[in-house]
């Protein structure tokens, strides 16, 4: 009953051992091996999807206000990671890649934390939608990591909760019609409307004398640079011809 083993043993004695020469020669991992995380902060849009799908909560972020924008830092704790690869799958920007580097050996736990940071310039303006061209497909809402956008196709409504929006810009890149943008909000100012009788009350009430009214030539001008948008002119207009609103240049 031990004869097969005997044969095997004597055969092995004179054949080459099947041991891999690992530390001497490199042993590349098999294809699709999920090893050490590599993180490219330049590609990252700070959407936070990876953080949300990570089951052992191995991903942490730090946001720091610095000059010229926000400094966003991502930490991938390899001592906490299960190497499931879900963060890689969910990262649309391909900023997270699980490489085939499996030699994650360290005396210091800090050496096993992959970090990356970049400075994200402050986005001026809020997310706006050109509703004239919007097809209400809802892709923006579906891709929003913070669920700030709601789209109702039936009523053709598109709304965004600006408090929730983190301005990651994901919706903009996903929009098939390219109707989303971080538009600069139109500066508020006094708008000259219809019904003016050129009485000049506004010019008189203006605390900074920004308005000039010429009854003879029927002209109404405002110096936007001096205007402090106090609203006195709008309040005192007897014909309600003035209003506050976005200025169209």
CB atoms within 10 A of CB 163: 7
Site string for other proteins, 84-123 (x = CB under 8 A): ------------------xxxxxx-x--x-----------
Q: Smallest Cα–Cα separation from 87: which of 132, 139, 130, 50?
A: 50
- In order, the DSSP letters of 165-200 are -----HHHHH-TT--EEEEPPPPEEEEE-S------
Q: What separation in angstroms does the CA of 35 have from each of 12, 48, 86, 101, 189?
A: 34, 21, 13, 5, 57
Question: Binder to other proteins among 31, 42, 57, 176 (CB under 8 A)?
Answer: 57
Distance CA 122, CA 137 (A): 28
**Minimum gap (Å) between residue 90 Cβ and other proteins:** 17
Question: Binder to other proteins among 60, 80, 115, 117 (CB under 8 A)?
Answer: 80
Question: Binder to other proteins among 55, 155, 207, 249 (CB under 8 A)?
Answer: 55
Site string for other proteins, 4-43 (x = CB under 8 A): -xx-xxx-xx-x-xxxx-xx---x-x-----x--------
Nearest residue (CB) to other proteins, 74 versus 76: 76
90: tokens are 């969910």
Question: Binder to other proteins among 52, 56, 147, 188 (CB under 8 A)?
Answer: 56
List residues bridging with 190 in a β-sheet.
244
247: tokens are 């200025």
**Minimum gap (Å) between residue 16 Cβ and other proteins:** 8
Nearest residue (CB) to other proteins, 19 versus 217: 19
**Minimum gap (Å) between residue 69 Cβ and other proteins:** 32
How many Cα atoms occupy the beta-carbon half-sphere of 54 within 13 Å?
A: 23
Q: Smallest Cα–Cα separation from 224: which of 245, 213, 207, 210?
A: 210
Count of residues that interact with other proteins, criterion CB under 8 A:
37
Footprint on this chain of other proteins (rule: CB under 8 A)? 2, 5-6, 8-10, 12-13, 15, 17-20, 22-23, 27, 29, 35, 55-58, 77-83, 102-107, 109, 112
């Amino acid at each position: 009953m031990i004869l097969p083993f005997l044969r095997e043993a004597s055969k092995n004695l004179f054949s080459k051992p099947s041991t891999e020469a690992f530390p001497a020669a490199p042993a590349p991992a098999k294809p699709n091996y999920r090893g050490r995380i590599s993180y490219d902060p330049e590609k990252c849009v700070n959407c936070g999807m990876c953080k949300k799908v990570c089951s052992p909560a191995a991903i942490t972020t730090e946001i720091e206000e610095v000059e010229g924008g926000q400094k966003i830092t991502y930490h991938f704790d390899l001592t906490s990671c299960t190497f499931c690869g879900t963060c890689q799958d969910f990262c649309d920007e391909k900023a997270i890649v699980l490489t085939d580097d499996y030699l994650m050996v360290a005396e210091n736990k800090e050496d096993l934390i992959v970090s990356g940071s970049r400075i994200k310039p402050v986005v001026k303006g809020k997310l706006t939608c050109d509703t004239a061209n919007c097809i209400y497909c809802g892709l923006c809402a579906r891709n929003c990591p913070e669920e700030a956008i709601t789209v109702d196709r039936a009523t053709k409504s598109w709304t965004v909760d600006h408090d929730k929006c983190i301005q990651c810009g994901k919706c903009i890149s996903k929009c098939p019609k390219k109707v989303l943008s971080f538009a600069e909000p139109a500066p508020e100012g006094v708008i000259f409307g219809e019904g003016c009788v050129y009485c000049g009350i506004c010019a008189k009430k203006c605390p900074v004398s920004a308005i000039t009214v010429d009854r003879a030539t029927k002209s109404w001008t405002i110096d936007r640079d001096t205007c402090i948008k106090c609203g006195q002119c709008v309040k005192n207009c007897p014909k309600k011809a003035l209003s506050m609103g976005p200025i169209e240049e």
